[in-house]
Amino acid sequence: MERGAAPLSTQSPVLRFAMSHGSETRVRSKHLTIRLSPDERGSIDQAADRSGLTPGSYARQVLLGAPAPRQVRRPPIERRELARLLGELGHVGSNLNQIARLRNVGEEIDAAELATVLADLGIVREAILKALGRDV
């Protein structure tokens, strides 16, 4: 806050919001640009993912020894689990496609089979959200 300025609590709500908005109070205003090979960038991205940080936060931590941010904004992604789940999703999608094809040609579909496929789809969805670090 500037010297002599009124405290935020006495200013209008609109001005108070604008002044307290994150982009208005950022301390970091300078950029550093470096050139990297695709392999170097990949290594940095992987290390950042493993640590649960964005590449920028990871670079700041490594270069300056800065502490990690108070809140990690990106949870580490379990890539192997996501690859496995992608395969599972393909199987469920194939089963659902077969059911739709039968229905489109006028054949009766088994309600239990449809329920099973939809339940499998829900299981895969929950597992993907878990692998992404999101609450189910």
Tell me, yes or no, whether 122 and 84 share the same domain.
Answer: yes
Q: Token pair for residue 111?
A: 């309600």
Tell me, yes or no, whether 66 and 106 share the same domain.
Answer: no
Q: How many domains does the chain have?
A: 2
pLDDT of 130: 80
In degrees, to the nearest 5, what angle opens at C-alpha 92 toward C-alphas 91 and 95? 90
The predicted-structure confidence for 60-117, as pLDDT tens digits, reads as follows 889 888 776 665 555 566 777 888 888 888 888 888 888 889 989 999 888 888 889 8
Q: How many residues does the chain have?
A: 136
Enclosing domain of residue 60: 28-76
Tell me, yes or no, whether 39 and 51 share the same domain.
Answer: yes
Tell me, yes or no, whether 54 and 85 share the same domain.
Answer: no
Tell me, yes or no, whether 70 and 110 share the same domain.
Answer: no
The predicted-structure confidence for 21-67, as pLDDT tens digits, reads as follows 455 456 778 888 999 999 999 999 988 888 878 888 888 889 888 77
Q: What are phi and psi of 53, to 5 degrees?
A: -115, 160
Tell me, yes or no, whether 84 and 126 share the same domain.
Answer: yes
In a domain, 119, yes or no: yes
Distances (CA, A) of 78 to 47, 49, 71, 72, 83: 13, 9, 19, 16, 9
Q: Which candidate, 30, 64, 61, places its Cα nearest to that of 47?
A: 61
In a domain, 1, yes or no: no
Tell me, yes or no, whether 104 and 65 share the same domain.
Answer: no
In a domain, 63, yes or no: yes
Tell me, yes or no, whether 91 and 60 share the same domain.
Answer: no
Quote the pTM value.
Answer: 0.41
Tell me, yes or no, whether 46 and 67 share the same domain.
Answer: yes
In a domain, 13, yes or no: no
